Amino acid sequence: MAELELRHLRLVCAIAEEPSLTRAAARLGVSQPSLSATLQRIERRLGGQLFERERTGMRVTELGAYLVSSARVVLADMESLLAGADARTRAPAGALRIGACPGAIGPNLARGITEILPTDDVTLEVAGIGQLAQDLESRRLDFAVLDECAGVPLPTSDRLDTRLLVAEPVFVALSEGHPLAERPTVELADLAPEDWAIAPMRDGNDQVVLSRACAVAGFRPRIRHEVNEPATCRELVAAGGAVALAQPTSRDGSGIAVRPLAGDPIILERWLVWHPAGPHAQHAADVYRCAARAYLSQLDRNPDYRRWWDRHPEAHRQLSAAIGEPVVRVGA
C-alpha cells in the first residue's frame, strides 16, 4: 500500500464526520470537485473504496472505517507531538501570535493589542483561511480573524471558539476608466462580459462564492487570473485587465474604483477564532475589542460602506456592543 500523507488522513476523517461531501469540502476550505478527485486518488492508492454515495450522504465502507479509526490515532499522536515541540520552541512568555486574511485588519489588530494587553511582543501571520485554520488547530496561532462567506461553515473543528465580528457586503473593484465605475452601484449581471481576478482555490472559497452569485445573476464568471496578493490584484484591475471582488473598506484611488454590488449578492462574515486551551485564551474578550476597534478604524475609508453600515445595524451588533459604540451613527 502506498504511503498516505497526513493531509489525506485529515481529508478522509472530515468526509466521515460530515453529512455530505459538500459540507466536508467547505470544512476543509476546498471545492467539492477537488475533494472528490483527491478522494478517488486515495482510493486508487489503497486499492479499495472508502465511501459509498447514498441519498442521505456518504456511507463508510469496512475499509473506510478501518482507515478512519487508525487515522484518528495517528492524527492525535501527531497533534501531541507538535504540541510538545511547540512547548519547547515557544516564543517567550507573554508573546501573542495572531493571524488574519489579507487586508488592513491584521496590522491594525496587532498594533491595538499592544495598547490594551500587557505584552509588547505580538507576531502577525497573513495567510489564506485554510492555513490560518490549521495554525489555530495546532496552536501555532493564539487568535485569528477569518473571513468566510455567510452560510459557508468555517474550516475549523469544534475544538476552536468563535465569535462573529461583522457580516459585510462584498463590493467590486473596477478600473477608474471602466464605464460601470460612473454608477453608484453595479449590477452583478452587468459584469458578465468581464474577466475576473480572484484568489486561488487553495486560499479560500472565493471562486465558489463568486460562481454561485453569478449563477443566480444568470451567467458564469470568466476567471482569467488567480492572484493571492492584494497589491498585484489592484495593479491588474487598475490597468483594466480584470475586475475583482473587493472588501467594502477598500479605498478608491490609484486607478481603482470600488463600488457596491446592487442588492448585496455576496455577504462576507469576519470571525475572531481562538483555541480555548491556548496560553492567552483568557484575553479573548479583550482581543475581540481590539479586533472591533481595528475594523472600525477602516470604516470611513469608503463612504458607500459607511452609509451601508448605518443602514444595517443588525450586521454588527456584537462588534458595536463590545466597544460601546452606538449601533447607528446619529446624523449620518
Q: What 8-state DSSP symbol labels residue 5?
A: -
pLDDT tens, the chain, 332 aa long: 346 688 888 888 888 888 788 888 888 888 888 888 889 989 888 888 999 888 777 888 988 888 888 888 888 777 767 665 655 455 445 578 999 988 788 888 888 887 766 666 888 888 888 888 889 998 899 999 998 887 777 778 888 999 999 999 999 999 999 999 999 999 999 999 999 999 876 666 788 889 999 999 999 999 988 887 778 888 999 999 999 999 999 888 889 999 999 999 999 999 999 999 888 888 899 899 989 988 998 888 899 999 999 999 999 988 988 887 543 332 33
Give the residue among 304, 301, 329 at the shortest CA–CA distance from 316. 329
Give the residue among 14, 80, 22 at the shortest CA–CA distance from 42. 14
Which residue is associated with the grid cell 496552536? 139
- Indicate yes or no: pTM above 0.75: no
Helix (H) or strand (E) holding 322: helix 317-323
* CA–CA gap between residue 171 and residue 109 (Å, rounded): 23
CATH code at 96-168+267-323: 3.40.190.10
Q: pLDDT tens, 87-136?
A: 545 544 557 899 998 878 888 888 888 776 666 688 888 888 888 888 99
φ, ψ for residue 65 (rounded to 5)? -60, -40
Give the residue among 113, 87, 111 at the shortest CA–CA distance from 284. 113
CATH 1.10.10.10 residue ranges for the chain: 6-89
Please tell me the total number of residues recorded for the chain in this structure: 332
* CA–CA gap between residue 66 and residue 72 (Å, rounded): 10
171-259: CATH topology: D-Maltodextrin-Binding Protein; domain 2 (3.40.190)
Could you tell me if 271 and 134 are in contact, meaning their C-beta atoms sit under 8 angstroms apart? no
Which residues of the chain form beta strands (DSSP E)? Answer: 51-54, 57-60, 96-100, 122-126, 143-149, 161-169, 171-175, 195-198, 222-226, 244-246, 256-259, 267-274
What DSSP letter does each residue of 276-290 carry, written as one string? TTSTTGGGHHHHHHH
Could you tell me if 161 and 223 are in contact, meaning their C-beta atoms sit under 8 angstroms apart? no
Percentages helix, strand, coil for the chain (3-state, rounded to 5) are 45, 20, 35
Query: Which CATH architecture is the domain 6-89 placed in?
Result: Orthogonal Bundle (1.10)
Q: What 8-state DSSP symbol labels residue 4?
A: -
Q: What 8-state DSSP symbol labels residue 190?
A: G
Give the residue among 242, 25, 257, 280 at the shortest CA–CA distance from 130. 25
C-alpha cell, 67: 482507515
Give the pLDDT confidence score for residue 328 in this predicted structure: 35
CATH 3.40.190.10 residue ranges for the chain: 96-168+267-323, 171-259
- 44-50 long-range contacts (CB < 8 A, ≥24 apart) are 45/1, 45/2, 45/4, 46/1, 46/2, 46/4, 47/1, 50/12, 50/15
